[in-house]
Chain A
């Protein structure tokens, strides 16, 4: 006999309203279903009503945690349309802010992971360790989040050289704390007992579901946009892509911890090698055309597509956050696990639902489910409409 356990729409484990239903037999999960669509904000339409310069401010607000990723991806999309080269100093500054963002995002997840397995001390400590990184970001960009740092062609402000020693000091201290946390996770038998062998996502499943970022790398899929298609300053500094073959929740958690060490390495090298020169390519006009910009956000690949009609506003601005690809991996992960572990499986991808949601269908009669064919038809109709109007 199976029971339905509702998780959400409001639940302590979900930062955003989402509705997940678990079919359980006792404590054993038979299947899971996720119902998205509670965070629709109309970002794509808004983006089409603002200028390219304003868009970078808007897309930052897609996600409070990976705001640098979205604005960088949008800037890259515009640069792709224009076909311009970004000055070296701007590339380095962009990389520094982006990697600092990865640090605070991964540390935030470490805290959340502690919260989910009921380890309150880790939750509080992780978030405390994260604070100095936000301070460093504030020193560099002027903001703790929503940095207003990226613009098509470069960055908005230059940074005086005297702040770098302070940033390096913060990074050194942070590095020690990451070592401490990594040691604590790998040595604590109770944490290992909770994470090891839980929520298996095989390599085949990860590829079939199109998993991204740490979720994929935890299943042994060796993908990282920073290496596979280098942008920013990644090709010019020395760092490693972290992959694990564990396929379980522990593998993903370890990847996040080890990636923090790599990010610290990248930022330090970038600060060391930071070249002088202009910080902006000075884009004056965006010609007709299409462009894509994608970068490796903390959770995986963030993808932005821009179609320009020669005006100062995009005709179409499509965004895709990595959580969109990672959400379906819940299903293979939770099958056969207990309720306790099911929630860990949801949280292990570090979901960011409001970043993901782009479309909501409202129907007074109830819920509508679109099949793949239906969605393809809707997408084609939309494209046709754009073509007609342009």
Chain B
């Protein structure tokens, strides 16, 4: 009973929903501030993302006529729950070595749920622009999932004995040094960052949202608390994906002594790379994105995989 209760606490408070949401929103502030500095603006104060979400929570949820009510409202919640779960799994693996066989597959699977949720929600909204956004999101998932999975499995290949447990990968790195020290894993890391850009729907792959084309596409009909959930999910993804990459490629999170600072530095470096890519690229077309991911990125990922098999 006590363990069930503590599991629920893990999921809801730390390191799950609340913790991930707070840190995620703070990260979106970093994102906004860095973007502002790149663009010669001042940028918002640190509490701006929280104020935005609080304001949205107090607003009315408008459900468009012709929308499928349940699907429309449940879809964002599914995404939120999935990201909270991923975050919990990653942190527990890092903190206590907790996990189960194949939890890596679970993480990869759960990281897709927010995008799938947006597809369902956007399709349920009954808006033509949203439905175009949903179809673009579908194409985007098809495009980036393959190189993403290959990149993650490059790391798995490098680990000996080969394991699908997050815990196992962390243990290997603790014994033999971080995986990012290998050529194959550097390539895989680059591929993973590019796919993260698409997972987060950040420029140049903000195609499903495309403000100047589809007026926020998949998010278009969401308002009030539902929109807050969508925004928080995105913020949590911005926190969870770098943590996932640190776990897989960069020796995991050290949560004692100077390790905390080191962990924060690793996290900030990954977030900065993502934000800089975001600010130095225009949005590409969906066909260009698909060609990019299936062409150069997949080839790069396969090259990384081959190198890993060869032992580099």
Contacts and interface: CB of A to CB of B under 8 A. Distances in A.
A11 B212 CA distance: 8
B206 interface: yes
By size class, the interface of chain B is 20 to 34
Contact of B213 (A3, A124, A125, A340): A340
B135 interface: yes
A166 interface: no
A121 B279 contact: yes
Interface stretch (B23-31, B36-44, B179-187): B36-44
Interface residues of A, number: 32
Contact of A124 (B40, B129, B281): B40
Interface string B235-247: 0000000000000
A133 interface: no
Interface in A1-15: 3-6, 11-13
Nearest to B285: A340
Q: Which of B212, B214, B284 has the most CB atoms of chain A within a 10 A radius of its CB?
A: B212
Nearest to B281: A190
Nearest to A198: B285
Contacts of A6: 128
A12 B206 contact: no
Contacts of A124: 39-41
Interface in B102-140: 128-129, 132, 135-136
Contacts of B284: 190, 193-194
Contact of A194 (B35, B211, B282): B282
Interface stretch (A88-96, A112-120, A200-208, A269-277): A112-120
Nearest to B211: A12
Interface in B203-226: 203-204, 206-207, 210-215
A114 B282 contact: yes
A5 B38 contact: no
A3 to B, nearest CB: 6
A339 B213 contact: yes
Q: Which of A6, A114, A119, A338 has the most CB atoms of chain B within a 10 A radius of its CB?
A: A119
B55 interface: no
Contact of A117 (B279, B283, B286): B283
B135 A26 contact: yes
A337 to B, nearest CB: 10
A54 to B, nearest CB: 39
A12 B215 contact: yes
A280 to B, nearest CB: 41
A343 interface: yes
Contacts of B211: 12, 118
B6 interface: no
Interface string A327-355: 00000000000111101000000000000
Nearest to B279: A121
A168 interface: no
A191 B285 contact: no
A12 B283 CA distance: 15
A272 B215 CA distance: 48
Interface of A: 3-6, 11-13, 26-27, 114-125, 128, 188, 190-191, 193-194, 338-341, 343
Interface of B: 35, 38-41, 128-129, 132, 135-136, 203-204, 206-207, 210-215, 279-288
15 contacts: A5-B128, A11-B215, A12-B212, A26-B135, A27-B132, A118-B203, A118-B210, A118-B212, A188-B282, A190-B281, A190-B282, A194-B284, A338-B286, A340-B286, A343-B212
Given A5-B129, A343-B213, 12 more contacts: A27-B132, A119-B282, A121-B38, A121-B279, A124-B39, A124-B40, A188-B282, A193-B285, A194-B283, A338-B287, A339-B132, A340-B283
